[in-house]
Amino acid sequence: MKLSREFYLRDGLTVARELIGKKLVTNLPEGLTSGIIVEVEAYMGTIDAAAHSYRGKTERTKIFFGEGGFVYVYLIYGMHICTNVVANVEDVPEAVLIRALEPVDGIELMKRRRGKNNLRDLCSGAGKLSQALGITKDFYGKDLCGDEIFIETTDFRAEIMTTPRINIDYAGEAANYLWRFVAAGSKFLSK
């Protein structure tokens, strides 16, 4: 069952924790692909020096300031798309970066998109999973309650561990916040 808008209209830490074990789905003309979310990071807006929305609203971050349940994508290293879920209510700019998936549907299509055959390497990183699921810059602002990209409930169960987020040394004290959530023991986590 597809998650409702209400799921996303909560604080980013709650949404992040509860996204573990849900299934991210893209339904595009070339096929349906999906994976179980096994790793995420919460970015908590104006209280979080690591968040893109920390310094306020810009053309790039305006989607953060709307209501939850929409997609925020951005390019890193000039080549990799990162996929985020906007959380909370309007004017509370929080989001959750999806860092890793366990592939489920459309695995052959994911392999073609990634040019890789190793199942564990298909979605074990934010840029990898975006490429595998066909997520591009055009997904900026897409509604997660629509039919092109959405998140579903599953029966997946795992112990959830928290750790500091990855690659945000620039964020000072915020680099140490335990805002990364992972499915303990998953073979599909980012490196």
79: in domain: yes
Q: What is the pLDDT of residue 63?
A: 94
* pLDDT score of 78 more than 80: no
Q: Is the model's pTM score more than 0.85? A: yes
Give the CA radius of gyration of the chain: 15
68: in domain: yes
Tally of domains in the chain: 1
Residue of 143, 137, 140, 151 lying closest to 104 (CA atoms): 151
Q: What is the pLDDT of residue 38?
A: 98
Question: CATH number for the domain including 131?
Answer: 3.10.300.10
74: in domain: yes
Compute how many other C-beta atoms are within 10 angstroms of the C-beta atom of residue 76. Answer: 11
* pLDDT score of 43 more than 80: yes
pLDDT digits (tens, 9 = 90+) for 2-22: 999 999 999 999 999 999 999
179: in domain: yes
The pLDDT confidence band at residue 77, using thresholds 50, 70 and 90, is confident
Average pLDDT for 135-149: 97
Q: Which domain holds residue 163?
A: 5-183
